[in-house]
Amino acid sequence: MRPSRIQVALIGCNHRTAPVEFRERVAFTPEQALHAADELRRQGILEEAVVLSTCNRSELYGVASEVQPNITDAMELFLTSFHRIPRGELNGRLYRWMGPDAVRHLFRVAAGLDSMLLGEAEILGQLKTAYGQALDHGATGPVLNKVFQSALEVGKRVRSETEVGARPMSVAFAGVKLAERVFGNLKGRTALVLGAGTVAEQVVEHLRNRGIGGVRVVNRSYERAQELARRVDGEAVSWESLDRVLSAPDILVTSVGGAGPVLARESLEAALAARGGKPVFVVDLGVPRNVAPEAAGLYNLYLYNIDDLGEIVEQNKKAREAEIPRAEAIVNEHIAKFESWRATLEAGSIVDDLRDHLHQHREMLLREKLAEMPDVSPEERARIAHITEELIERVLDQPAKRLRHGGAIRGRLGAIEALRHLFGLDEEKAGLEGEEKLGREEEEGN
Amino acid sequence: MGHELAYLSLALYAASFVCYAWILYAPQLWIGRFATVLLAGGIVAQYFALLERSHWTHSVPYDDLYGSMSLFAWLLGVTYLGLELFHRQRSVGAFVTLVLVAWTALITLIVPQAASTPPPARGLLFALHVTLNTWAYAAFALSFVLSVIYLVQDWVLRSRKMSVAFWRFPALDVLDGMARSSVYVGLGALSMGVVMGLIWEHRLSGSYSWADPKVVVTLAILVVYAAYLRLSRSTKWRGARASVLCASNFLIVLFSYTFVNLYLTRFHRYL
């Protein structure tokens, strides 16, 4: 059945509105998310539902079968009962959005504009998974399919057409991206990790994701080197062999504790000479620094310490923030597209409702009037019926075209609302549905 | 018709420059592809403009400054397009097409397009000699642009002043590879061009003009670019120093193409 009124509703909380203790309590596992979507539909609260739950947000998206002004109240009640949370504890932690505002929120989430780390890419994958599972489960319908597919497109466009998600925002990732500025593709390159710090491990993970050829780990404690080497699928090398292996890697990541530099300018100079002057990219994550600062002047050695990388991350953060207006413009463009789609769908729906309405009156009128004319033959009755049918189609033709294609979206939606009100279509429908429900109850009672 | 084609090629080069510049700031695959198509369109249009001119001269249009400069622009476009496809790298397109647009605009709008009389025909060998040498100059010009970008990128990496475009530029390794490819093309073309020229001259006069300044400078160009290729893989020169050398070598090419052609040589004057 074509939905006559389309209103997307949303309730949820995120890292801005609720602390982690609360977010933990309203989080959904993938199974719970599907179960909740089923329940929302089974209880008649929503006709379509998607639950999005990540570490930073829990959100229920839905479409009701008919416009209900208090739909978000019903969704909130469901959420609290599902997680067994007293309503008083919500205390302004939930946000509620309806219509274009709910769609805007989803598009901004997909674009990474609502994320803790502006422009982060992970949310798009999480959104895709949540929607994909709901779709496979049959919990979505035409409206949420349209909204979520548009959201995924917004996410992709924002990341490809703006700088919101382009620049590295973590020290580890910044180091790897800078190495790519020197070497290009990192496939087949080699890395040496000195020390076994957490950030160094993150750098190696990023390098692995980019297909780096080989990783060697050197640590004062050989056991710890072996441990890290196992985790990053690398090779552990003893501390004593450091000078021997120093000339091999293209990328050197250092994260060694203790006082004073571990790598002197002379050792690195010798390593560079041994590798025929090929560039070496050094990420020094140690505090105090592991690489002698004078090494930065070595030809074909690119040295970045933790402060350099931190400064780059800060620059990138500002650059990402400067891109927000461009990302918002993409969001607005897609909201306008969705509203246009909604207007077209609603226009089709109201024309159908109006046609049904007019045909009911036509049939009643024909019954009344033809009863007063016994002399009219069956052929003439059929002809009169046909003419009145054609009259309705002709009368509806022009308004249908104008509603589907004419004017601005706001105007079209306004005209649709006016027509509903003018012909009392909602009341009529509500009356019919009430009668149907009563009939079903009577049948069940029998 | 030749004028219209020349203007069309200029317009297409300008449009491709806009698209290449666009993808530096807001990368979109289809705009990048469109930039390549526009560049290819400009090259085709300029080819037909050159072809029309060559029908009139009955040879490759090298005899006047306009023809020679047009041929240079066209070969620059062709060489860059080849490198772009070979290295699968569009991020230097904005810089190369900017040079192309400026050069084409200069010759289309400023330099007189019609020579007073058709030049004398000198045969296929001579035409190949000039075309190959012009191609070499175009390839060296490209290696100059790539080396300058390398040096800028290297400076940015060391100074840590990363702008938006920095993250879109090709890596140092890629720039180095492209510059070397370009120099290989230039050296190959120049070597063949010189050989063709010598054969042609020997057939004509039975001797070689080794003392002609153009020949001397051309042989010097061969030596300095060969030295670049050798040194750019050595321990001390690999990287930025080799790029400085490559960019400096182009100054000799410019000297040869302009001052030597116009004032020093007896055989290679275009005016």
Break chain B into its structural domains and give their ranges.
Answer: 1-119, 122-271
Per the residue annotation, which of A55, A364, A432, A438 is the catalytic one?
A: A55
* A1 vs B57, more confident: B57
Q: Looking at the structure, tell me whether residues A143 and A191 fall in a common domain.
A: no
Q: Looking at the structure, tell me whether residues A151 and A243 fall in a common domain.
A: no
Report whether pLDDT(B172) > 90.
Answer: yes
Q: Looking at the structure, tell me whether residues A31 and A154 fall in a common domain.
A: yes
Question: Which residues partner with A364 through β-bridges?
Answer: none
Cα–Cα distance between A118 and A111 in angstroms, integer? 9
Q: Looking at the structure, tell me whether residues A35 and A158 fall in a common domain.
A: yes
Q: Looking at the structure, tell me whether residues A194 and A303 fall in a common domain.
A: yes
Q: Which of B18, B69, B228 is nearest to B143 (CA)?
A: B228
Residues of A with Cβ-Cβ distance to B174 under 8 angstroms: 184
Domain assignment present for residue A335? The answer is no
Report whether pLDDT(B99) > 80.
Answer: yes
Q: Which two tokens stand for residue A330?
A: 């993409």
User: Can you give the pTM of this predicted structure?
Assistant: 0.68
Domain assignment present for residue A331? The answer is no
Q: Can you give the pLDDT at residue B165?
A: 66
Q: Per-residue pLDDT averaged across B115-130, rounded?
A: 72
Cα–Cα distance between A63 and A174 in angstroms, integer? 42
Half-sphere exposure in the Cβ direction for B156 (13 Å, CA): 22
Calculate the CA A428 to chain-centre distance.
38
Q: Which CATH number goes with the domain that contains A51?
A: 3.30.460.30
Residue with tokens 């036509």: A362
Distance between start and end Cα atoms, chain B: 24
Residue with tokens 């504890």: A89
Q: Please report the DSSP string for A268-302 in residue order.
A: HHHHHHHTTT--EEEEE--SS-SB-GGGGGSTTEE
Domain assignment present for residue A311? The answer is yes
* B159 confidence band (pLDDT: 50, 70, 90): confident
Give the count of beta carbons closer than 10 Å to the beta carbon of residue A415. Answer: 18
Domain assignment present for residue A119? The answer is yes
Q: Can you give the pLDDT at residue B268?
A: 67
The domain in which residue A351 lies consists of 342-445
Cα distances (angstroms) measured from residue B153 to each of A146, A230, A258, A275: 44, 36, 34, 23
Cα–Cα distance between A168 and A177 in angstroms, integer? 7
> A311–B160: do the CB atoms touch at under 8 Å?
yes
Cα–Cα distance between A154 and A148 in angstroms, integer? 10
* Number of domains observed in the structure of chain A: 3
Sign, CA torsion A205/A207/A208/A209: positive
Q: Which of A219, A204, A196, A213 is nearest to A172 (CA)?
A: A204
Q: Which residue of A has its CA nearest to B158?
A: A302
For strand A48-53 and strand A57-63, is the pairing parallel, antiparallel, or unpaired?
antiparallel
For testing contact with chain B, the best of A186, A298, A300 (most B CBs within 10 A): A300
Q: Can you give the pLDDT at residue A438?
A: 46
Q: Can you give the pLDDT at residue B59?
A: 67
Q: Can you give the pLDDT at residue A445?
A: 43
Q: Can you give the pLDDT at residue A410?
A: 57
Which segments of chain A have a pLDDT < 70? 1-5, 66-67, 259, 403-417, 423-446
Q: Looking at the structure, tell me whether residues A19 and A88 fall in a common domain.
A: yes
Chain A closest-CA separation from residue B173 CA (Å): 5
Q: Which residue of B has its CA nearest to A272?
A: B235
* B73 confidence band (pLDDT: 50, 70, 90): very high
Q: Looking at the structure, tell me whether residues A100 and A189 fall in a common domain.
A: no
Q: Can you give the pLDDT at residue B114?
A: 58
Q: Looking at the structure, tell me whether residues A281 and A365 fall in a common domain.
A: no
Q: Looking at the structure, tell me whether residues A150 and A209 fall in a common domain.
A: no
Cα–Cα distance between A281 and A74 in angstroms, integer? 57
Q: Looking at the structure, tell me whether residues A22 and A75 fall in a common domain.
A: yes
> B239–A276: do the CB atoms touch at under 8 Å?
no
Calculate the CA B155 to chain-centre distance.
25
In this complex, is the C-beta atom of B88 within 8 Å of any C-beta atom belonging to chain A? no
Q: Which of B44, B13, B218 is nearest to B136 (CA)?
A: B218
The question of whether A13 is a catalytic residue gets the answer no
The DSSP call for residue A140 is -
Instruction: Indicate the helix (H) or strand (E) that contains A160.
Output: helix A142-161
Cα–Cα distance between A7 and A102 in angstroms, integer? 9
Find out whether A124 and A52 touch, Cβ atoms under 8 Å: no
> A300–B238: do the CB atoms touch at under 8 Å?
yes
Average predicted confidence (pLDDT) for chain B: 86
Quickly count helices (H) and strands (E) in chain A. 16, 10
Residue with tokens 């991206």: A177
Q: Which CATH number goes with the domain that contains A232?
A: 3.40.50.720
* B130 confidence band (pLDDT: 50, 70, 90): confident
Contacting B residues, span 18-37, partner chain A, CB-CB under 8 Å: 26-29
User: For chains A and B, what is the number of CB pairs under 8 angstroms?
Assistant: 68
Domain assignment present for residue A337? The answer is no
In this complex, is the C-beta atom of B236 within 8 Å of any C-beta atom belonging to chain A? yes
Domain assignment present for residue A68? The answer is yes
Find out whether A263 and A285 touch, Cβ atoms under 8 Å: no
Report whether pLDDT(B103) > 70.
Answer: yes
Q: Looking at the structure, tell me whether residues A314 and A380 fall in a common domain.
A: no
* B264 vs A77, more confident: A77
| Closest residue to A273, CB basis, from B167, B235, B239 | B235
Q: Looking at the structure, tell me whether residues A242 and A297 fall in a common domain.
A: yes
Report whether pLDDT(B5) > 70.
Answer: yes
pLDDT tens-digit readout, B201-217: 888 888 887 778 888 89
Q: Which of B219, B151, B137 is nearest to B186 (CA)?
A: B137
